Amino acid sequence: MQNINMNVLGALIVYFIGVFGIGFYSMKFVAKASSQVTDEGGFLTEYLAGGRDLGGFVLAMTMVATYLSAGSFIGGPGTAYTFGLGWVFLAMSQMPTGYFTLAVLGKKFAIVARKINAVTVTDFLRARYDNKAVVIISSISIIAFFIAAMGAQWIGAARLIEGSVGVSYRVALLFFAITVLVYTTIGGFRAVALTDAMQGVVMTIGAFALLIGTITAGGGVTNIIQNMYAQDPGLISPFGVQEGFMTMAWVTSFWILVGFAIVGLPQVATRAMSYKDSNSMKKGIIYGTVVSMFLLLSMHFIGAFGSVIVPGIEAGDLVIPTMATRLFPGAIAGIILAGPLAAVMSTVDSQLLIVVGAIVNDLYINYINPEARKNAKLTSRISFGATIVVGILVYMVAFNPPPLMVWLNLYANAGLISTFLWTVILGLYWKRANAPGALASMVVGVGTYILFSKVWARPLGMHTIALPLILSLIAFVAVSMSTREPEERIIETFWGI
């Protein structure tokens, strides 16, 4: 690993050029939107929602690529390497996300977003609850949690480049940061969605090749499974290799965290308001389910099978790069490694844009300078500036890396889910939901989550997030019912024609 692997580097560079190309293509749309003077807020609709123009395939790919992150491509396989088939089983709890999120937010979310002209989730909350505290808490929670999450993701990406190309961590980080920043800044949401689509394809091809390579190298499934059994019977049991870690309640509670509650992630919800028509949604569900099912299963298989094919590597996180470089000649390994890198890139680009949305659309335009909405030139300049500043901040967070990125990533996700899940779902489907209820659910959700993660890591045997989500639902309903119902005008905007 000391020498620079030119083959892998070459493949990655070709891939990065493709990403830049898409950035420049999308820049045309952004430039057009920023030169329009008359259209109110037209720039932000393009920059943050791609002009609500996503077709089914791009929708599915950007959705999958956004929620399948470094966790699913590096950390997840890494943990499967250590714990075996049980972790592949756990990973399948994320499978419903492919159909669940789009079906549950549904066309209603897309319809409402058009009614109130929302381009961020906070726009939706602002119109629905008409409350300053709700808007400010949700914006700040986006900014804080996403910078932490992006830090972890960037570390994953840099480690991946470091491990496969052989350059130093710092060079890798810089290389990655500049690429993501450039295409996101110039191309906005359209660039992000299109690069996600390309990255989704790269990921799928990479995962397929690596899966076939792995099974062949291990001498077939039967052989691999029997070797795993011989190494440690726990590797083929749903309870893993370590007593008391992968308990039934804990593993099952991942359905709440990564399966169902993903609906509450702002970057996922934004996509659910950006598709073009009913048909894109239908196709989005079909492609999204197929692709996420395949990717989850194959990437985690590779990790679990790796335990007998490349035993004894120092950190589980390195299983994917190690397998790719050992099983394949350089140039092909490069293409395969572009897969997980694509997964990270497509997650952070959307997170970056969500943070920019929170700063520019939700805080700056709402509270600091409302006049800016009409001034597309000014908004565009501020959006570009914010993207770059946030990027530099994340770069600094990632510069001194903490080791366990899976947990860091889950921590931030849980915080975001506690803030957004019920406020979005109940706001959309329950007329009685009001601002005090929303605030109560945010405070109880985030508060109990932070408390539990310090003193009671597995409430009732489940993952830390499960109980806080239930408590915040109870708080939402109880407080809403005991305070005034929302104003008639809000209900009419949301439910009327």
Partner 1 sequence: MKETVERKKEFIEDPRYKQCNREALMGAGLGIANLIWWFGWGYGLGSGSPSEYTYIMGFPAWFFMSSIVGAILFTVLAVIMVSKYFKEVPLETINKKEAEAIQQELE
| 124 in contact with partner 1 (CB under 8 A) | no
Query: Nearest approach, Cβ of 16 to partner 1 (angstroms)?
Result: 32
Verify binding: residue 49, partner 1, rule CB under 8 A: no
Say which amino acid occupies 385.
G
CA 39 to chain CA centroid, Å, is 31
User: Binding mask 409-448 vs partner 1 (x if CB under 8 A, - otherwise)?
Assistant: --------------------x-------------------
3-state secondary structure labels for all residues of 296-360 = HHHHHHHHHHHHHHCCCCCCHHHHHHHHHHHHCCHHHHHHHHHHHHHHHHHHHHHHHHHHHHHHH
Give whichever of 10 and 106 is closer to partner 1, judged by the CB atom. 106
Residues 336-375 that bind partner 1 (CB under 8 A): none
Q: Which of 17, 32, 216, 233 forms a contact with partner 1 (CB under 8 A)? A: 233
Query: Helix 278-309 and helix 97-116: axis angle, to 10°?
Result: 140
- For position 77 contacting partner 1 by CB under 8 A, the verdict is no
Q: Report in angstroms how near the CB of residue 312 gets to partner 1 at its nearest.
A: 22
Taking contact as CB under 8 A, which single stretch among the options 90-98, 148-156, 191-199, 364-372 is the one that binds partner 1? 90-98
Residue ranges in 117-244 assigned as alpha helix (H):
121-129, 132-165, 169-217, 221-231
Q: SS3 for 275?
A: strand
Collapsing DSSP to helix, strand or coil, 188 comes out as helix
Long-range contacts of 274-278 (CB under 8 A, 24+ apart): 274/49, 274/50, 274/52, 274/53, 274/54, 274/59, 274/189, 274/193, 275/52, 275/54, 275/55, 275/56, 275/59, 275/110, 276/52, 276/53, 276/54, 276/55, 278/107
Pick the stretch among 95-103, 129-137, 348-356, 371-379 that binds partner 1 (CB under 8 A): 95-103
Phi, psi of 220 (to 5 degrees): 90, 160
Among 19, 85, 355, 424, binds partner 1 (CB under 8 A): 85
Identified binder of partner 1 from the candidate list 8, 12, 110, 309, rule CB under 8 A:
110
Q: Is 131 in the site for partner 1 (CB under 8 A)?
A: no
244 binds partner 1 (CB under 8 A): no
Question: Does 103 participate in binding partner 1 (rule CB under 8 A)?
Answer: yes
Among 21, 25, 108, 140, binds partner 1 (CB under 8 A): 108
Looking up tokens 């965290």 gives: 257
Q: Give residues 246-305 in contact with partner 1 (rule: CB under 8 A).
A: 248, 252, 255, 259-260, 277-279, 281-282, 285-286, 289-290, 293, 297
Q: Are 181 and 391 in contact (CB under 8 A)?
A: yes
Distances (CA, A) of 134 to 123, 257, 271: 11, 23, 21
- Binding partner 1 (rule: CB under 8 A), the pick from 9, 102, 173, 327 is 102
Q: Determine the Cα–Cα distance for residues 19 and 404; give it in Å rounded to an integer.
A: 28
Q: Under rule CB under 8 A, how many of the chain's residues touch partner 1? A: 57
Q: Which of residues 201-230 bind partner 1 (CB under 8 A)?
A: 220-225, 229
Can residue 236 be called a binding residue for partner 1 (CB under 8 A)? yes
CB of 247 to partner 1, least distance (A): 11
Other CB atoms within 10 Å distance of the CB of residue 222: 9
Touching partner 1, residues 470-489 (CB under 8 A): 488
Residue numbers at the binding site for partner 1 (CB under 8 A) = 85, 88-89, 92-93, 95-96, 98-100, 102-108, 110-111, 114-115, 220-225, 229, 233-234, 236-239, 248, 252, 255, 259-260, 277-279, 281-282, 285-286, 289-290, 293, 297, 429, 488, 491-492, 495-497
